[in-house]
Amino acid sequence: MARVFITGSSDGLGLMAARLLASEGHGVVLHARNEQRAAEARAALPAAEAVVLGDVSTMDAMRSVAQQANALGRFDAVIHNVALGYREPRRVQTADGLSQLFAVNVLAPYLLTALMTRPDRLVYLSSGMHMGGDAGLEDLQWERRRWNGSQAYADTKLHDALLAFGVARRWPDVLSNAVDPGWVPTRMGGPGAPDDFSQAHLTQAWLAAGDDPAARVTGGFFYHRKPRRVNPAAERADLQDRLLDICRDLTGIGIA
């Protein structure tokens, strides 16, 4: 049985994946933004080994989450589920001077990947909206452009695919993949989302702990446990390396 750490798992798809994995006998550690949400997560899944605390909009909190997770022992898999949505009405600046959307959706999975004890598998939550992401990697913090929440979100979901594929190249001993869970009626997706909610958590859990050969791959992009067409930009090694270098320069921590 596997031990799996899932970021952003106090509710929504993260909690759903955790419940599924726990029901299959896997060890699960949750992550919540604050004490209140941690208490709600513990009540929702008493079988969880622990709940790690931290609002990963700041680098200090990202480092704290990595430290807390490492103190619990090595994980077989990490699901990078935490994210802000596409309906953010304005650019919010973090204590580090970054766009909060970029910090949570991109820098947090990057820094946790870099700082946590290396697992066997990594799963990064992307989105079908990544197809419209801007591959230019310019003005990532939206300092020069007029804010567009939908475009900013699409950009970060392309970045998540770049992270998954870049890590897959640099760490050939780790299975690193990206997932489109579908547009489903979560708090982020909204009540009108058309995709099948019952399917939205299955692929990330399968990639994290599945034993069949189709789940034991790397550098893939999946939807409902099937390979899915990816934005061609995500497969460009130069863009993968450039984003990894940008994140290294922002955090001072590299992924070799």
Residue keyed to tokens 């820094």: 111
Give every CB contact of residue 108 below 8 A, 6+ residues apart in sequence.
Answer: 7, 56, 57, 62, 65, 80, 82
> Residue 118 class from Cβ within 10 Å (0-12 exposed, 13-18 middle, 19+ buried)?
middle
- DSSP labels, 30-54: EEESSHHHHHHHHHH-TT-SEEEE-
Q: Which of 110, 157, 223, 226 is catalytic?
A: 157
Catalytic: 226?
Answer: no
Q: Which of 86, 153, 223, 226 is catalytic?
A: 153
Catalytic: 86?
Answer: no
Give the CA radius of gyration of the chain: 16
Distances (CA, A) of 99 to 50, 74, 242: 30, 31, 19
45 closest CA partner among 68, 75, 11, 77: 11
82 closest CA partner among 148, 156, 140, 28: 156
**Dist. CA 12–CA 186, nearest whole Å:** 6
**Dist. CA 236–CA 125, nearest whole Å:** 19
Amino acid at 185: P
User: What amino acid positions are annotated as catalytic residues?
Assistant: 153, 157
